[in-house]
Amino acid sequence: MKSIELIFISILVILIIGCNSNKHLGSSPKYNFYTAEVNFIAKESEGTITVNSIGYGKNKKSAIINAKQNCFSILLFKGIPGSEINIPLVDNEYKSKTANSNFYNSFFNGTAYETFIMRITESSYQKNKRVIKTGLELQININSLRKYLEQNNIIRKLGY
Partner 1 sequence: MRKMFFIGLLLSTSICSKAQNAATNSGGQVQTVQPKIMVIPYTKKDEDIRTILEKDVNKRIAITKIKEAFDSRGFTTVDFVSKLKAALDNNVFHSDNQTDIKSQIVQMSGADIFVQAEVIFKQSTSGNSVDIILTGNEASTGNSLANKYGLSGLFYTDDIGKLASKAVENIATDFLNVLQTKFTDIVNNGKSVIIDIRFAQGSKYNMSSDKVGTSGLPLSDQIEEWMGKNAFKNNYHIQGTTDLNMIFDDVKIPLRDQSTGTNYNPNKFALELFKFFRSLNLEVKKDIKGNTIYFTIK
Q: Which residues bind partner 1 (CB under 8 A)?
A: 46-47, 84-87, 91, 142-143, 146, 150, 156-160
Q: CB of 59: closest distance to partner 1 in angstroms?
A: 37
Q: State which residue, 68 or 146, has the beta carbon closest to partner 1.
A: 146
AA identity, residue 151: Q
How far, CA to CA in Å, does 73 sit from each of 92, 112, 127, 150?
Answer: 13, 13, 24, 17
User: In this structure, what is the dihedral angle of CA atoms 29, 35, 40, 43, given to the nearest 10 degrees?
Assistant: 0
Half-sphere CA count of 89, side-chain side, radius 13 A: 21
**Distance of closest approach, residue 157 Cβ to partner 1, in angstroms:** 6
CA–CA dist 39, 136 (Å, integer): 10
Compute the least distance from the CB of residue 85 to partner 1, in Å: 7
**Nearer to partner 1 by C-beta: 118 or 120?**
118
Residue closer to partner 1, measured from CB, 4 or 87: 87
Minimum separation from the CB atom of position 142 to partner 1 (A): 8
